[in-house]
Structure 1
Amino acid sequence: MEDVVIAGAGPTGLWLAGELRLGGASVTVLEARPDRDPNSKALTIHPRTIEIFACRGVAEPFLAEGIRIPNGHFGGLPDRMDFSALDTPYPFTLALLQARTEQLLEARARRMGATIRRGCRVAGRTHNGVELAEGEVVTARYVVGCDGTRSTVRAAAGIEFPGTDATTWGWLGDVRLDEPPEHGFANVATAEGGLMIVPLPGGIHRLVGGDPATNRPGWPGELTLDELRATVGRIAGTDFGMRDPVWLSRFGNATRQAVAYRAGPVLLAGDAAHMHFPTGGVGMNVGIQDAHNLGWKLAAVVTGRADEALLDTYHEERHPVGAELLEHTRAQTALMTTYSPEGQALRAVLSRLIATAPDMSRHLAERLSGLSVAYATGKRVRNLPLPEGTTLFEQLRTGEHVKTEAGLVRPDGHLAAPPAA
């Protein structure tokens, strides 16, 4: 019997597997897909996630390969938040394909001794583990659902997933451009719709946006290259010479959150716990941060170093973070999908505030980047220099608590208790 079985080998499940092994727990990851999905939904790695990687000594490949972007957008507004004001060694986001992120995280989990099985679809729960579609039972003391918005684990545990259905749809196209924008990037917003363009490896560009025609509840149908070309042309005045699509997709703004992140021996993380419109590129990051919070706690419980009550703090700490995530993505969705003259005026006013009110810009950037997250025990601790000549992030690589002048720091980089008054 394993200590933990994880359903889902996306970034959340893979980071959790590594964290559990760091804490001494045995773990098997079950992934329904026989091969990694080549189409990368996520591209953005935010500053707090880079810090998390640095706290485990695995940030370098991400820093070496990712494209550094020194600012971020809120709701697609033209004036961008300046990340240089953030108190972090990594005042930027990294643009890196999710497929590559998963490859790096899987390599780490395997190095640390995690078992990863592909082509194994979890069909349901048993009293001591999970049952696969083929009938095999994989036994474990705990089961963690990292299996996405349609989570089988969540449904089998009877955890409700309330929220709202889609009322608007975005579109995405990974294509080749014969006439790309200058520097490869573009951010265009007009009454005809909104559009962002980002260069990807291999001469591909990602075009992502929305427009009034799909600003409605009903499913608009599968996206075609002709539709994408016409829509982009209306918004930007050119289709940038797009051709040879690699991936065309739509996504909606259905927004939901699990009422509980734990039900006995079953826990949820990532998209299994929260779903939302992908504004700001935060989804994968919050999932990894869920796993970072849960990993050391679950490992401590299964190895007998902590009482099971520690697991209750996972829901207590991360559920409010998920609720705030949904609030912010809904607010950004409203800004991104308002095409009326009044909506355009609102966008203009808020955009100017971001450009001219540094406190507002920094506040939004801290929330978007994940650096503002704080729990009842205390806030995230920056990379403090330590007396022995190392830094906090270096000392956290063991996955143990670290004593600092700011107080005792938990394995996830947050204070273990609020500073004394």
Structure 2
Amino acid sequence: MAALPYWRLSSFYLFYFALLGSTAPFLALYFDHLGFNAARIGELVAIPMLMRCVAPNIWGWLGDYTGRRLAIVRFGAICTLLAFSLIFIDKSYAWLAMVMALHAFFWHAVLPQFEVITLAHLSGQAARYSQIRLWGSIGFIITVVVLGRLFEWLSLDIYPVALVLIMAGIVLASFWVPNAQPLQGPRVAGEGFLRQLRNPGVLAFYTCVGLMQVSHGPYYTFLTLHLEHLGYSRGLIGLLWAVGVVAEVLVFLLMSRILARFSVRRVLLASFLLAALRWLLLGSLAEFLWVLLFAQVLHAATFGSFHAAAIHFVQRSFGPRQQGQGQALYAALAGTGGALGALYSGYSWNALGASWTFSLASVAAFAAAVIIATRMQEDRP
């Protein structure tokens, strides 16, 4: 067995999620800096998520059909950089909407295919996935802390430059990673993607993926603005984002033990219930720093344990020939939910306020918990 290219795989996750760390907390803040209202901000943030509904399935099918997943990753990374660079030409709403859609079409080609490559490298060592993926969380932490401080000292006008530099890092990392393919077993009758999708609990799982991302809408779109309006500094806000991801890293380190002891169903159920609690706390009690810190620690469940369990579920639910499509559907439904969450939060923020907007998010997470509890069968990992 070839040696695991641990640092090469980890470097890609580091840069990829550093980009997420620069967009999730600060993209809405940048659009606010440009003078857009809450509804327009929600729409601009939703556009990349809407592209996530379509793009991963197109690229996932292409990856499964051609087997050239690493080429797709590299092509997507380069085109993401080139497309986003168009932001330097104009800052009008229509132009920004085009830039958001175009760069996201290629950005969302990248991660689902890279997940398949990573899992192929981990053949027989799947429990080590979280040890590699945690470097993505570290990249996120570094970015939110550094940019949070930077934006206290300098204007937000430098924000697009920071994103372009991180995207260049993704391109370089993609060319450092060696290729790998999932083991291809012989074709058997009835092994098609749609047939596997109808296996018990699979459709319920994907429904809950969408609901979980709907519930994250206010968090990813307006948390930074929400905390800034409550009087928190941008530097402290960056640290608070980092607290959540530190908790996520700790969970990733423990996930192999957690999944060895608890079923995927139980891990997902706990994640959804804690998400419902977290959104209530952020919407109603975020002015209290100790409550805010506790809510951010719950990111360990709302993203960390949820994502690790979800990747595990997708891997075991689909055969080698459908892995790309399974991962792509996970990304697409997460994008659909995220887009709906960003849109509803953008429209409800001014009309209903932060408390009601986060309460609706809590309802979505609780609905996912009910579905998992009633529709997914209990099993051991």
Is the TM value for this pair above 0.5? no
Point out the structure with max Rg over C-alpha. Answer: 1
> Counting strand residues as a fraction of each chain, which structure ranks higher?
1
Q: Say which structure is richer in helix.
A: 2
User: What's the TM-score, normalizing by structure 2?
Assistant: 0.29
